[in-house]
Structure 1
Amino acid sequence: MKSSTLSFLLAGLLLTGGVHASAADHVHASHAWIRVLPGDLPAGAYVTLQNDGDQPVALSGASSTVYADVMLHQSSTAGDMSRMTMVDALPVPAHGKAVLAPAGYHLMLMQANAPVKPGDTVRLTLSFTDGSTLATDFIARPANAMDAGDDHRGH
């Protein structure tokens, strides 16, 4: 009898755990691209995150097997001074989106373990503050690129 009771309790716990969706379950990534710079210079990664959920979520960073370090940054300009600041999280509103783009929020990719060339695909694992993750493929673009090159600039 104890074995069947334990099985019943475990089944209930598993079902209960499935009721609460993670942030990554509600977020869709699109227009994901990397601006590749020459030599060992850091690259920037950009993406649009769409949250279809009823609750806001927050991107807290990313990781990659290709880059030793990935940091979430925000670029800003005050007067004629440009600055880049590391941020802890980027909110993605419920039924809304957050855009990581040049001159704004972006992922800074440091120390590639092999050269990344335009046309390559690099997988980044996006991390959210609830601990969930979303694996996303980013297309590498040349240093002079301003967008993902997928003809969706206005979307």
Structure 2
Amino acid sequence: MLKMFRLVMVLFAASYTALAGAADMGAMVMHPWVREAPPTAAALGAFMVLQNHGAKPLVLVGAESAAAGEVQLHRTVMADGMAKMIRQNSIEIPAGGQVEFKPGDYHLMLMKPKQVLKAGDKVGITLKFKDGSSLPATFEVRAGMAMPMNHGNMHSGH
């Protein structure tokens, strides 16, 4: 029994350290939102500003959410006069800089939503970085193309 308790405590400490890592390095999610989509949508777009207040670049390599079967990193690019979504393996956030995830550019794709999300719903998404750290954030579902600028929606990995 004591061995099991120690194992649980070690695993808890390790997961807490990984979650705290990105926030400790100065990563911050601002203005997180998910675009509301029809109930039959196979994917939803998620947007934010990802800031890096640290002295080293951060490399985003993935994300996960209990609200979706998979979360992918994407970028919309123009090719031959047509917009194409291209899956990204990673996105670098420069030291002291930020990357804006917005419609028509970088964004997260919540593939195979597990439930219908409506305006006002909250979605937890955890960002995963190359160094093994994670940053959880809460995204609000918004109708249409609304880009919130409410600074009360700022999130960091505290």
Q: What TM-score comes out, normalization by structure 1 length?
A: 0.79
Residue type of the alignment partner of 2:131: D
Residue 129 to residue 74, structure 1, CA distance change in 2 (3 Å)? same
Structure 2 regions of 5+ residues with no counterpart? Answer: 1-16, 153-158
Answer yes or no: is the 8 Å Cα contact 2:126–2:135 preserved in 1: yes
Whole-angstrom CA distance in 1 between matches of 2:57 and 2:149? 29
Q: Please tell me whether Structure 1 or Structure 2 has the larger radius of gyration of its CA atoms.
A: 1
Residue type of the alignment partner of 2:141: A
- Spell out, residue by residue over 1:50-88, the C-alpha distance to the aligned partner (whole angstroms, 9 max, x if none): 111100011111100111111000001134211010001
Residue type of the alignment partner of 2:32: A
Residue 100 to residue 39, structure 1, CA distance change in 2 (3 Å)? same
Once the 2 structures are TM-superposed, how far is the Cα of residue 94 of structure 1 from its aligned partner?
0.4
What does 1:1-155 correspond to in 2, within 5 Å? 22-25=21-24, 26-41=26-41, 42-142=43-143, 144-148=144-148, 150=150
Whole-angstrom CA distance in 2 between matches of 1:40 and 1:70? 17
Structure 1 regions of 5+ residues with no counterpart? Answer: 1-17
Q: 1:12 is matched with which residue?
A: none
Answer yes or no: is the 8 Å Cα contact 1:59–1:127 preserved in 2: yes
Whole-angstrom CA distance in 1 between matches of 2:125 and 2:57? 22
Residue type of the alignment partner of 1:91: E
Whole-angstrom CA distance in 2 between matches of 1:92 and 1:149? 21
Answer yes or no: is the 8 Å Cα contact 2:31–2:151 preserved in 1: no
Whole-angstrom CA distance in 1 between matches of 2:72 and 2:138? 17
Whole-angstrom CA distance in 2 between matches of 1:134 and 1:40? 29
Whole-angstrom CA distance in 2 between matches of 1:47 and 1:88? 18
Higher relative contact order (CA 8 A, sep 6+): 2
Residue type of the alignment partner of 1:29: V
| Identity among equivalent pairs (%) | 36
User: SS of the counterpart of 1:71?
Assistant: strand
Q: RMSD in angstroms over aligned alpha carbons?
A: 1.9
Displacement over 2 Å in runs of 4+: 21-25, 148-152
